Each structure stands twice: as C-alpha cells, then as structure tokens.
Structure 1
Amino acid sequence: MDNKAELIEKRKKIIAGLEKTYQKLVEFKRYKKTPLIIARNGEIVEIAPEELKPNTPYITNGDMKV
C-alpha cells in the first residue's frame, strides 16, 4: 500500500472514530439531561440534548488532498 492510500485509510478510521464519539456524547447528554456547551460564531451557546441529532455524518468536500 502506498503512502497516499495509507493516509486515506487512516483518515477514514479517524472520521469513523469521531462519529462514534459524537454519538456516545449525544447519548450521554440525553441520559444526564444536560446541555452541550459549544462556541458558535465566537459566542458560548448551550444546546439542549433534545435538539442534538443522534448521528451526524462527517461530510467531506471530495477526496483528501495529499
């Protein structure tokens, strides 16, 4: 496997791990009934756990540039 293919495979695994982590975070926030605190446009925002999507796939803009 060449270097570019290895990087693409690692990237896919990282994205899959991040998606799984997000899903677990949403489940945890719903279980605890606590808001998710994020920064949006430079402001701190609380999002109710009911407003969170259970899974949000990572969307890329085409293939990875290596």
Structure 2
Amino acid sequence: MGTKEQLKEERDRIVKGLEETYKKLVEYKKQKKSPMIVVRNGKIEAVDPHEILPTTLYKRSAG
C-alpha cells in the first residue's frame, strides 16, 4: 500500500471521528438543554440544539 492510500485511509478515519463527535455533541446539548454556540456569517450565535441537524457530513476531496 502506497503513501497516498495510507493518507486517504487516515483522512477517512479522522473525518468519521469528527462526524461521530458532532453527533454526540448535539445529543449532549439536547440532554442538557444548553445552546450550541456557532459562527454564522462571521457572527457568534447561540442556537437551540433542537434547531441543529443531528448529523453532518464533512466534504471529502477526491484524491
């Protein structure tokens, strides 16, 4: 297996971990009834966690 394939596999594992972490964070915020702090259009906002999608997908570039 070449370096390029190893890097792709590692990147895919990292992205999967980020997706799982996001999902757990949203669930936690809902349980604690605590707002999610996000940046929208360069502004910091507190958002009700029930308005946030429970999952997200990170874009994975080809290559």
Q: What TM-score does the superposition give when structure 2 sets the normalisation length?
A: 0.90
Output the CA distance in 1 between the equivalents of 2:49 and 2:42: 21
Partner of 2:55: 55
Unaligned runs of 5+ in 2: none
* Percent of pairs with identical residues: 46
Deviation at 1:56, TM superposition (A): 1.2
Deviation at 1:59, TM superposition (A): 2.5
1:13 aligns to what SS in structure 2? helix
Aligned residues: 63
Deviation at 1:2, TM superposition (A): 0.5
- Compute the RMSD of aligned alpha carbons: 1.1
Output the CA distance in 2 between the equivalents of 1:56 and 1:38: 14
